[in-house]
Structure 1
């Protein structure tokens, strides 16, 4: 298969996902549709390395991750990040729900080893799935090694549609409050802040003609380099994921005026980066063969179902205590099933389908996007790796 044929097929799949999401007003998310189509493709005529053939290999995907996560950090000010402590608590509560339910009910239905392997991938990241898969292989548990990978690539099928439903309900509630006048001040404050930060403060005196797309890319890459270098420097003391630091450094760079808000969009690179990263994520579905799914379908379905129930119960309790709406609290906890960039895409799809008014869209994004992004990072990027590091020693 030629590169351009592979790329054309994959882009057709992404576009089909967009069409379905638009036609159904995000009730069927694009990522869900794309995942189904990728599975069908891998089970029929796709070469196993179709994503690499199209030009998206792990090195390119890593570059996109650095760019996108640094860019994401510019959406959050230090004050706003501090204000998201409730999202952090809710995300951790959802993780606790997964652990409690699977170690009790799940262990009674199956066995403790299966649940030990299942929990870290369910909490999120691909790193956690690989750690548990390698650990199971080393322990001679071949089926569980496959189980760790498959549960990671399949769990989004539960997370995508449920999250979309929760966010749509939350958007409806927020729009109702907004129309009653309760959220008007927040929107005005956000608009003022965005206008004030249109040009990065450190380069305010630089003529606009020199603030080219390449200069924006350079500054994003430089912040990513700082995050990577800091991660390497800290490695002898403590392991900190460089991508987590990209988020933190993106927040700092935006706050001090080194980066403007959403520089990747302003450099006309955001859509391309999202395309590449999503293709790389869907590439993980090539491991989920029909035979593999048949062997582990029962523990797979039951584990994901129990995890969702655990997240709902514990996030509902945390949301009630913290006075966060049940819909948003559940959506935040569900980010553990997919993380970034799906949390970003799902939120934007719901916002775009909920209203055509630009001010209302900004209001919805200001209320829903920051907690969704923070929740995803707490679970997928940070907590899942920590849990995997502990659980793999129990096999």
Structure 2
């Protein structure tokens, strides 16, 4: 298969996902549709390396991940992170619910070892899945080694539609409040801040003529901040293992706060669309490992693990939301980010918002209320907690 044919095919799959999401008003998220189509493709005529053939090897995807996560940091101010303390507590509560449900109920049904392998990938990303897969392989547990990868590549199929469902309910509630003028003052301030975000420019370069603030200058500053995050992570590695992606988010926030980066710098450099495209293809590339035989051999523990884990997540996030006075829909949506993380949390939230209203001010109000907790929740669950859990759980294999 030629590179251009492979590129046309994989982009067409993403396009079909978009069309279905628009047609169904995000009841069926694009990520879910594209995931199903990629799975069918790998089982039929797709080359296993179709994404790499199309020009997106893993090294390119990782580069885009650094840029995208740093760019996401520009959406959040230091004050906004403080404002999201409830989100952090809810995210931890959801993860605790998964762990409690699977170690308690799941281990009785499917065995303790199976649940030990399943938990970190279920609440995390590829890093935690690989840690558990390699740990199981080293312990001679070949089936569980495969199970860890399949949990990772399949968990989104539960998370995508559930998230779209609860976010649409939350979005409608907020729209009613907005249209009746009943949003709290804190939400109105956030909406006002979001409204002026595109106009804000980096303070450190305010005296520089605009003609010199080229796309390449924006890219240079963004990559420099991402590099510093990576470097700090490497320097801290002997003392404490902090993911460079976590630091990218933090450094993006700091760089924007001090005026080194503008808000949404990747969009302003005209690079956001291609970066999302690359990262989405990288995510679906993981489905090539899920063969029909593999899925059939572990289908019952897979379904059972997801159902029990999500049920535990809902119960604990509901309780946390009640205590913190956060709607059960928003609390559950934040916890569900553990099943997919970034960029799916960003994409699904925006799809839902766009499906609810065409008024720009209403979209900005919804975005300011729904997107920050979804982003923060995704980073807390997938990027931070899951890796820590994997490091602990792998020692029990």
- TM norm. shorter chain > 0.5: yes
Q: Would you say 1:261 and 2:258 are equivalent positions?
A: no
The CA distance in 2 between the partners of 1:96 and 1:369, in whole Å, is 23
Match of 2:213 in 1: 211
Give the corresponding residue for 2:62: 62
Which residue of 2 is the match for residue 270 of structure 1? 272
1:124 aligns with 2:124: yes
Which whole-Å deviations, capped at 9, do the CAs of 1:237-279 have from their partners, x for residues lacking one? 1011001000000000010000000000011100000000000
**Residue deviations 1:276-315, cap 9 Å, x none?**
0000010000000000000000000000000110110000
1:390 aligns with 2:392: yes
Count of residues paired in the alignment: 395
The alignment partner of 2:298 has SS state of helix
Superposed, 1:234-245 pairs within 5 Å as 234-245=236-247
Q: How does 1:193-204 map to 2 (within 5 A)?
A: 195=196, 198-204=200-206
Query: Equivalences for 1:153-168 in 2 at 5 Å?
Result: 153-168=153-168
* Residue correspondence of structure 1 range 1-395 to structure 2 within 5 A: 1-183=1-183, 186-187=187-188, 190-192=191-193, 195=196, 198-395=200-397
Instruction: Identify unmatched segments of 5+ residues in structure 2.
Output: none
Assess if the C-alpha contact under 8 Å between 2:124 and 2:339 holds in 1: yes
Distance 2:195 2:294 in 1: 49
Q: Is the CA contact 1:194–1:261 (under 8 Å) kept in the aligned structure 2?
A: no
Distance 1:114 1:45 in 2: 32
Distance in 2 separating the partners of 1:251 and 1:383: 20
Partner Cα distance (1:382, 1:281) in 2: 18
Alpha-carbon shift at residue 16 of structure 1 (Å): 0.5
Per-residue displacement from partner, 1:120-171 (whole Å, max 9, x unpaired)?
A: 0001111110000001001110000000000100010000000000000000
CA distance in 2, matches of 1:52, 1:128: 23
2:175 and 2:333 map into 1 onto residues whose CA distance is 17
Q: Please state how far the C-alpha of 1:182 moved relative to its aligned partner.
A: 1.8
What is the RMSD computed on CA atoms of the aligned residues? 1.1
CA distance in 2, matches of 1:307, 1:103: 10
SS of 1:324 mapped into structure 2: coil
CA distance in 1, matches of 2:380, 2:193: 29
Distance in 2, matches of 1:64 and 1:388, equals 25
Q: CA offset at residue 195 of structure 1?
A: 3.0
What TM-score does the superposition give when structure 1 sets the normalisation length?
0.98
CA distance in 2, matches of 1:69, 1:31: 19
Deviation at 1:183, TM superposition (A): 2.5
Q: State the SS of the aligned residue for 1:127.
A: helix
The answer to whether the Cα contact below 8 Å between 1:187 and 1:359 also exists between their aligned partners in 2 is no
Distance verdict in 2 for CA 1:179–1:358, change over 3 Å: same
Q: Is the 8 A contact 1:336 1:380 kept in 2?
A: yes
**Take 1:101 and 1:193, find their aligned partners in 2: how far apart are those partners?**
38
Q: Distance in 1 between matches of 2:248 and 2:254?
A: 10
**C-alpha distance in 1 between matches for 2:135 and 2:275:** 32
Deviation of residue 327 (structure 1)? 0.2
Counterpart contact for 2:190–2:369, Cα < 8 Å: no
Q: Distance in 2 between matches of 1:109 and 1:228?
A: 42
What is the deviation of 1:381?
0.3
Distance in 1 (alpha carbons) for counterparts of 2:295 and 2:191:
47
CA distance 1:189–1:128, shift in 2 (3 Å): closer
Q: Distance in 2 between matches of 1:273 and 1:95?
A: 29
Q: Distance in 2 between matches of 1:198 and 1:370?
A: 18
| 1:62 Cα offset (Å) | 0.8
Q: Is the 8 A contact 1:178 1:184 kept in 2?
A: no
TM-score, normalised relative to structure 2: 0.98
Gaps (5+ residues) in structure 1?
none
> Using a 3 Å threshold, how does the CA distance of structure 1 residues 369 and 192 change in structure 2: closer, same or farther?
closer
Deviation at 1:193, TM superposition (A): 6.2
